[in-house]
Structure 1
């Protein structure tokens, strides 16, 4: 079947498979074509790649509503709505600066839940060992624990910048695959340095009220402060340490992100969260994950849209650090 033509050549489409260059953006209809994150090329060839986006369709560690195994699919689909050029308010296209691919998903045997942590750690190690950085689309929040294991093998203990309604340090008897306990493990195992780590957006009461040394920023402090002030707290706490950004979508208020397993009223708006992230340009992030998107509970894809846009905020931050700047508007 021949490709339809117009006066300027072939009509664009299926850039997830057909694009030849890793950089740049090629427009295609949001309602058609093969879906990848932001229409990036699907590839497991990481030669020359700056960042690999990968999905982790795992939700067997949830405590309440399941469905986050569909998160990567939902985020990819929603990302097509904005995969057309410069991203506001950065006013540049990060893909002009960064070579980004969609690496596909981490595959595992759903009947062998106990094997999942090692499988994900191995999957992440494959990517990291190439020299590319990772952005991971969850999946429930437990996935951050094996991801931290993989990253600390290369970077050593990391500072955690953690946006969430929950602290995820609930006590347990050890060895659980649970999305509410894993950061306690991460501290005890030396994967993260709690004294240079921050948890932002908190608004729940915990059965084990221990700070573990984290700087805690509750949601009311965010609401009563400016984005600049909260970003200043994060930047001062983390300092020059290498950092890992993990964003649980339930950090956002359910009005902005209803599609999640444990929605808690009183959370951040998208604007608040994005405005904070935009001001973290002084931090040395080695990776990001975006977790707990549950499309079965979403409405009009608004949670997946928020998630894909938060990932884009991070990509713009990384591109800015690499020299990207806004192009002046022309009359």
Structure 2
């Protein structure tokens, strides 16, 4: 959309005619779809659907991540004016990206939630689009991985996190954000040998064969070396990226439920994500943004940037030359 068109267009989330292109509305006005993409349930011709999952009933400490999708969308209104720095292509010109809205679910029927989310993501995938999901607590990644594994088989996963989420949990009825990766590996949704966790800084009794590049490794070896190692682990396999915002140090992301000191700086995370260009990304998420614990909104800003970087990674292999 040209700048002059913005003089007559308002609320591009509803009035945008072309899913491609940038947006020039005032950042402080208009409906807050992600990156001012069109809100729609029509997936015809869509490459990538951004969807929110406002669920936080699996947390072990501070709740509030149900407000994450809304906060991330609002923070993203600062971004859709120019192509993202350093990528060398225009993801919003190369991809048809829409905002698919939030998953609707009955908050009082928690046991029904996982299947509902898997169906939600599966429906998007069956239409031929990929997903970038805005959470929500980290449990949401398990039902998402079920939908992706149904389509792609066992996945390589790149997990940015302070915690491994590999705590043993063989009770199929438990819904816990600290055990989602344990269940994903045990269920065969994730190939741990070809997956990697980045930024870890808490202990785990059993890593289940997962590759781990902890926070100190990032600090001492640097983002470029870490990205090279990650690319070598996942290879060209279908890869899913899940980014728990607590991978960042609390100085950069205070608005999260289980903060741990010693984490990644935002510049380190940005550099690693950009150096992952070329991985076979099939989808991703950013989770655990809890706005009530961050009055300045800097956590949501970081998460919005992560989500945009996921769009860039998804579009890298589909870009216009």
TM-score calculated relative to the size of structure 1: 0.93
Tell me how far 1:279 sits from its aligned partner. Answer: 1.1
- C-alpha distance after superposition, 1:293-312 (max 9, x if no partner): 00101132110000001111
Which has the larger displacement, 273-282 or 56-65?
273-282
Runs (5+) with no aligned partner, structure 2: none
Equivalent of residue 224 in structure 1, options 199, 220, 227: 220
Q: How many residues align?
A: 318
Instruction: Tell me the SS of whatever aligns to 2:221.
Output: coil
Residue correspondence of structure 1 range 117-266 to structure 2 within 5 A:
117-175=114-172, 176-206=174-204, 209-266=205-262
Tell me how far 1:172 sits from its aligned partner. Answer: 2.7
Instruction: Name 2:71's counterpart in structure 1.
Output: 74
Tell me how far 1:323 sits from its aligned partner. Answer: 2.8
Distance 1:307 1:47 in 2: 28
Tell me how far 1:137 sits from its aligned partner. Answer: 0.4
Distance 1:91 1:316 in 2: 10
Is 1:307–2:285 an aligned residue pair? no
For the 8 Å contact 1:68–1:295, the answer to whether it is kept is: yes
**CA RMSD in angstroms, aligned pairs only:** 1.5
Tell me how far 1:204 sits from its aligned partner. Answer: 0.9
TM-score calculated relative to the size of structure 2: 0.96
Larger Cα-atom Rg: 1
When residues 17 and 214 of structure 1 are mapped into structure 2, their CA distance, relative to the original with a 3 A threshold, is same
Distance 1:219 1:105 in 2: 32
Distance 2:167 2:140 in 1: 16
Instruction: Name 2:47's counterpart in structure 1.
Output: 50
Distance 1:163 1:154 in 2: 23
Residue correspondence of structure 1 range 6-17 to structure 2 within 5 A:
10-17=7-14
Tell me how far 1:285 sits from its aligned partner. Answer: 1.0
Runs of 4+ in 1 over 6 A off after TM superposition: 6-9
- C-alpha distance after superposition, 1:128-163 (max 9, x if no partner): 100000000000000000000001111000011000
When residues 7 and 132 of structure 1 are mapped into structure 2, their CA distance, relative to the original with a 3 A threshold, is closer
Instruction: Name 1:3's counterpart in structure 2.
Output: none
When residues 21 and 117 of structure 1 are mapped into structure 2, their CA distance, relative to the original with a 3 A threshold, is same
Instruction: Tell me the SS of whatever aligns to 1:134.
Output: strand
Which has the larger displacement, 284-293 or 89-98?
89-98
Distance 1:134 1:15 in 2: 21
- C-alpha distance after superposition, 1:159-215 (max 9, x if no partner): 110000000011234121000011111111100000000000000123xx1121111
